[in-house]
Amino acid sequence: MIQTKESIYSTVEDLRDLIIQVNDYIHDNPELGHQEFKAVELLTSTLADHGFQVEKEVAGLPTAFTATYQNKQGGPVIGLLCEYDALEGLGHGCGHNLQASSITGAAIALRNNLGELPARIIVYGTPAEETTSGKVPMAEAGLFDCLDVALMMHGGDRTTVDGKSLAINSVEFVFEGKASHAAVAPEQGISALDAVLLTFNGIEYLREHVRSDVKIHGIITDGGTAPNIVPERAEAKFLIRAADRAYLDTVVERVYNVARGAALAVGAKLTIHEGKALDNKLNVQRLNDLLLENARLAGAREITPPRQSTGSTDFSTVTHRVPGACLRVSFVPFGVSNHTRDWVEAGKSEDGHAAIIAAAKAIAATSYDLITKPDVLKEIQKEFLVAKGSRLP
């Protein structure tokens, strides 16, 4: 086993130039969600060159793909997920170029070291993580249901595994009032902006009476057109998060009631536009431990326990269907947050390159463990079923 891991590591070293080329190309050609055509072309052609069967535009998404390699018949099915979308105005501030390159490298290195072992590797190209989410429609299309385990990678300020993530709902409130001259005839107007301000104030009061894991953050996206006109239209967007879906649903309803109350108070009409909703991540500790141990063996730096403070991710949707884990690999100094220029710059630095090589080794070696240790895979699946609240077969 150790010998095979050494062999996986040396295959990754052989692929070093290719992995770095893929990384730097995607870094230098940032594309927004659902427009990642250059990245998809490069990733799918690279995987096809190494014997993977590519299917593009899966789940009806123009820049989603799968690339499958079946080694012998049967065996575990390992899903390796990558993202490649960039941020508007910033480029690769979330380091998704690192995922695309390291996952591709891991998949090829694993494929080249399977020997006679039956196994299937499926690389998933999952677009638009930063915006509308590719994984949710891909999950709804059943694309992950064939997997025994799903793994993914993300850059970070430390090497760790995601212990949890928050469930999230996004919502837009549109209030419609009545325009009037703000000085001459204010009594004839209905201020939609007042309803927005009351909503913000009501949410501040609500904040005191929800669980401490709840996070509610909003912005005003339309506050009227001119100060001498009573605003006839106003709009605000909110993100509402909590540690679990069931509790979040109750908080979301209370936030809606605050907005409904605000509309009633000023006499405005309210329209609620519900946006993206993601569940919290289901945690499988055994899988997390295996992944982190392989990161250590692969030489990843700054290994720490899972972060306490977390956001939300569309990977959580996958973790409700199959056991899943995401490896964070350090490539920026500790404490440097994502969605920053620092992350963009580090994306093709020496540290960035070291991170993708370590990640490729760790992900390939973890997959190899899952394929060759049926007892470990069974433990992981058992823990997953318990986490899901399902009854064991």
Instruction: Kindly state the smallest distance separating residue 236's Cβ from Zn ion, in Å.
Output: 23
CA 233 from chain center: how many Å?
33
Can you tell me whether residue 162 is helix, strand or coil? coil
Nearer to Zn ion, 5 or 328 (CB): 328
Instruction: Kindly state the smallest distance separating residue 7's Cβ from Zn ion, in Å.
Output: 31
Whole-angstrom Cα distance, residue 61 to residue 141? 11
Instruction: Kindly state the smallest distance separating residue 261's Cβ from Zn ion, in Å.
Output: 34
Instruction: Kindly state the smallest distance separating residue 247's Cβ from Zn ion, in Å.
Output: 24
Nearer to Zn ion, 65 or 315 (CB): 315
Instruction: Kindly state the smallest distance separating residue 29's Cβ from Zn ion, in Å.
Output: 17
Residue 380: CB atoms within 10 A of its CB come to 23
User: Cα dist. 371→95, 137, 140, 237, 386 in Å?
Assistant: 29, 28, 26, 45, 22
Can you tell me whether residue 229 is helix, strand or coil? strand
The mark string for 310-349 relative to Zn ion (x by CB under 5 A, - otherwise) is ----------------------------------------
Nearest-10 crossing angle of helices 37-49, 96-111: 10
Instruction: Kindly state the smallest distance separating residue 76's Cβ from Zn ion, in Å.
Output: 27
Per CB under 5 A, which of residues 181..200 are in contact with Zn ion?
none
Half-sphere exposure of 369 (CA within 13 A, CB side): 26
Whole-angstrom Cα distance, residue 23 to residue 9? 18
Whole-angstrom Cα distance, residue 230 to residue 177? 8
Binding segment toward Zn ion, per CB under 5 A, in 87-95, 189-197, 264-272, 341-349:
87-95
Binding segment toward Zn ion, per CB under 5 A, in 89-97, 113-121, 176-184, 193-201:
89-97
Nearer to Zn ion, 64 or 258 (CB): 64
Binding segment toward Zn ion, per CB under 5 A, in 45-53, 90-98, 218-226, 244-252:
90-98
Binding segment toward Zn ion, per CB under 5 A, in 45-53, 88-96, 173-181, 219-227:
88-96
Instruction: Kindly state the smallest distance separating residue 10's Cβ from Zn ion, in Å.
Output: 30
Nearer to Zn ion, 44 or 126 (CB): 126
Whole-angstrom Cα distance, residue 263 to residue 256? 11
Whole-angstrom Cα distance, residue 389 to residue 113? 36
Half-sphere exposure of 67 (CA within 13 A, CB side): 28
Nearer to Zn ion, 45 or 337 (CB): 337
- As given in the structure block, the two tokens for residue 300 are 């990843």
Which residue has the CB atom at the shortest distance from Zn ion? Answer: 94
Tell me, what DSSP letter sits at residue 1?
A: -
What is the phi/psi pair of residue 130, to 5°?
-80, -15
Instruction: Kindly state the smallest distance separating residue 85's Cβ from Zn ion, in Å.
Output: 9
Nearer to Zn ion, 96 or 120 (CB): 96
What residues are paired with 330 via a beta bridge?
156
Exposure b/e, 280-306, CB count within 10 A at least 16 = b = bbbbbebbbebbbebbebbebebeeeb
| Number of residues in contact with Zn ion under rule CB under 5 A | 1
Nearer to Zn ion, 94 or 203 (CB): 94
Q: In sequence order, what are the residues at sequence separation of 6 or more whose Cβ sits closer than 8 angstroms to the Cβ of residue 49?
A: none
Under rule CB under 5 A, residue 94 binds Zn ion: yes
Instruction: Kindly state the smallest distance separating residue 172's Cβ from Zn ion, in Å.
Output: 20
Nearer to Zn ion, 82 or 139 (CB): 82
* Binding region for Zn ion (CB under 5 A): 94
